[in-house]
Each structure stands twice: as structure tokens, then as C-alpha cells.
Amino acid sequence: MIVVKFGGTSVGDAAAIERATDIVRGRLARQPLVVVSALAGTTNTLLSIAEQAEKGQLIGALRGVEGLRERHLAEASKLLGDREAGADVAADLSAMFDELASLAEALSVLGHLTPRSLDAIASIGERLSSHLVVAVLCARGIPAQLVDAGDVMITDNHFTRAEPQPEMIAEATQRIVRPLLESGATPVVGGFVGATSTGVTTTLGRGGSDYSAALFGAALRAEAIEIWTDVDGMLTADPRVVDGARLIEQIRFDEASELASFGAKVLHPSTIAPAVKIGIPVYIYNSRRPEGCGTRITFDAPRRPVSAIAGKRDVALIRIRTPRMLLAHGFMRRIFEIFDDNRTSVDVVATSEVSVSMTIDDATHLDGLLGALMALGDVSVERNRGIVALVGAGLGDSTATMAQALAALGNVKVHMVSLSSGGINLTLLVDGDQVLEAMRRLHSSFFPVSQ
């Protein structure tokens, strides 16, 4: 058994759904559970419909509903024609749009949007896409069966960010999904959507369908989870910045997690943790190029000194100096409490005996932060800095790698260095306008073109 999850762009229109159908067909022998996102952009539109309705802008909200209706019906008719199968699906989808329009009207009367009603609206995207995909699979001869996400993805009642309940999910998945798979059917379920144990619709938070795929995979003890998206997999660097960035065929989960903090948008590793932790490999594939080899994420991929280079700009460095820190204790606690009070997360830290340097990404609360920190010592701020990082599980094993990194940077000025314990991430603070150059130099040193 495997889980095959299609993201929004991989079911975004008729052509994408045809490709997804072929991908599923090629995997029937492995008994796939298919998890689908909403058609690309749908969730955003649904959220803005809810927002407009709440503000009383009913005409705008209903226009949004009609836009979604037209789009879904147009793709459905391209895929299924307008007779029989096509007409049935059109009727089912239309009923959901009528329901959406009534919800929007009710909200505009109430003028108040609760997280619970927001989830009722946001979940419609996956209800629509799963319905459509089942109909297309069946029309193409694949014995697909719709599974209602609310019957299997049991969560708590934290609407808009509901917490899945793994034991109940495992029980429901074994009871409902496994027999379908064993009988040769291909179950299809919407990602992102769940329900409380009393049946009220919830969602897992944005991007939640990867999380759904991982939870179902864990519940079934699947052999593999495939995440089909619109990029080839994880790359050695952002290809918009670095020429010659290449695919990472295998990456360790902890390396992927480090890269996620740099906004590597492919997927957020924490969402696949439930599966990877119990040894289920997760693959990322490009549904536009299904022949590609993709990226395999596991707990125990080989330890390479450097797997990828990442970077970001707009980082601020805060430095606190005070002789009082010498041989004192509790000092760090006081500093970090101030960051906590000002809701600012610290990214990289380096300390000496009398100073602490910390970087932050988000300077929204900088004024309050500085005011409070000044009570502890001399504070200085350097804005417009940037970070480049080498990520590799074997980085800490080899001093030569660190020497190579510093040598490759040449005359790029380094303001701070931090090697995470365990040595998976070597972070270098540089000037913001040197981030791209630093990334290019590091990449060509560690991933030379001829390699």
C-alpha cells in the first residue's frame, strides 16, 4: 500500500487531472490511497469569499462563488463531457456551490465569521476536488471510491488548525480505507480536511494536505508516500539564484527540516514527520515530469558533508554587551524572555563571555525589543544583513568542509559564524547584498559543474 498525494497544481485543471490519472494508473499494483488538495488557488478564493461575506460584501462574495463554480464545471466538462458521468458530477459540484452560496449569505447577515464557519467554507475546495477526481478515475476505468475525509481524519476542535488524533485516525483508516484497498478499489480522500469525533468539519491549517497524506500513510503503515507537486524535488540551492542547482535524490529528514526555515517551499518537513519517524520514505515528484527520479526523504539517508546551500536576506543582528554577564548565570534566560515578550523568534545565536549576538528575521517588534534589552547592557543593531547556510548531516565530521566554505567565500565579509551542535548547519552572517554572491560561490565550490 502506498499513499499518492496530489497538490493543488497537480489537480489544477483538466490536463493536470489527466496526468494525475495516468500516475495513479501506473501504481495500481501497489494499492494506492489517493489524497488530493483543492484545485490550485481554490482555498485562497474560499477564504476571501468568507472574508467578504463577513464584511457584508455579499455581491463580491457571490461573484467569487460563481467564479469557482464556472472553473470547476468547465474543467469537469473538459474531462467528462456533458452527458451521464459529466452531468452527474456537474450536479454534485453544483450542489456544493449552492451550499457555499448559502453559507456566504448567512455570514453576511451575521456579519461575524467564526473559525468553525471558516473551516466549513475552506473545506469545500477538497470536497470538490476529491469528487471530481473520483469521477474522472472511474470514467477512465480505475475503480475509485470516495472516502469522506471527516470519517477518517479525526481531529480536536481547534478550528482552522485542528490537531489530528492519530489513534482515532488509525482506527478509522484501518476500518474504512484498508478494506477498500484490499478489495482492489482505489480510495480517494480530500487532504487538509478533518472532523471532530462528533462530526464537525475542521481543517489542519494551510498546506495541510501533506500532513493528511503522512497521517494516512502512518495509519496504514504504507510502504511509501508520494507527494506530487510542480517542482522536480528538493534542489541543492534555489535555482532562481544559483545556476546549476541540481536535484537532491536522497535527503535526510533533519536536513530537509533545516532547509525549511529558509523558505524552501517544496513542503514543510514537520508535516511529514508522522510518517518519516516510523520509517516510511516520502518522495517528492513533479507531476509535469513524472519520469523524473524525485527526492526521497528518509530518516537515514547517507550523511553528506553538504547537501544544500540556502540563504536569506533582510536579517537583523542584535548584539548585547555587558560585563555583568561575566561568570553570571540566568542572563540568557532574561534575554530570551524579552524576545518571548516581544513575540520575536531568534534565529542564530553566538556568544562570547561578555556579549551575545542574535539574528532575527522579523523586525516588526524591534522597538519594544530594543527598549527592554537596553536594561541589560549595551545594545546595537545591524540591519540589512543576510544569512547563508550550508546544510549537511556530515558537516560537523569534517573540519576540511568548514575550511573549504570559508575559503570559497573569498572577500565576502563574514560577521558571525554558527555551527549547530551535531554539525548539520553551518550558518554565516554576511551583508544582505552579498547573500546571492555568497550562495553562488559556495555552490560552485561544493557542487562543481563537472561533478
Grid cell for residue 182: 484490499
Q: Is 422 left (phi over 0), alpha (psi -120 to 50) or beta?
A: left
Contact 172, 152 (CB under 8 A): yes
According to the binding rule CB under 6 A, does residue 257 interact with ligand ASP? no
DSSP-assigned states of every residue in 121-153:
HHTHHHHHHHHHHHHHHHHTT--EEEE-HHHH-
Closest CA to 290 of 341, 230, 359: 230
According to the binding rule CB under 5 A, does residue 432 interact with Mg ion? no
CB of 446 to ligand ASP, least distance (A): 32
404-410 long-range Cβ contacts below 8 angstroms, 24+ apart: 404/445, 404/446, 405/442, 405/445, 405/446, 407/445, 408/441, 408/442, 408/444, 408/445, 408/446, 409/438, 409/441, 409/442, 410/441
CB of 181 to ligand ASP, least distance (A): 23
Binding to Mg ion by CB under 5 A, coded x per residue (else -) over 34-73, reads ---x------------------------------------
Residues 33-52 that bind ligand ASP (CB under 6 A): 37-38, 43
According to the binding rule CB under 6 A, does residue 201 interact with ligand ASP? no
Residue type present at position 434 = Q
According to the binding rule CB under 6 A, does residue 342 interact with ligand ASP? no
According to the binding rule CB under 5 A, does residue 190 interact with Mg ion? no
How many of the chain's residues bind ligand ASP (CB under 6 A)? 12
* Choice from 32, 86, 150, 191 touching ligand ASP (CB under 6 A): 191
According to the binding rule CB under 5 A, does residue 7 interact with Mg ion? yes
CB of 257 to ligand ASP, least distance (A): 18
CB of 29 to ligand ASP, least distance (A): 27
CB of 269 to Mg ion, least distance (A): 15
**How far apart, in whole angstroms, are the C-alpha atoms of residue 285 and residue 289?**
8
Stretch that binds ligand ASP, among 201-209, 258-266, 276-284, 289-297 (CB under 6 A): 201-209
Contact 373, 401 (CB under 8 A): no
Interface contacts to Mg ion, rule CB under 5 A: 7-8, 37
Interface contacts to ligand ASP, rule CB under 6 A: 7-8, 37-38, 43, 125, 191-192, 206-209
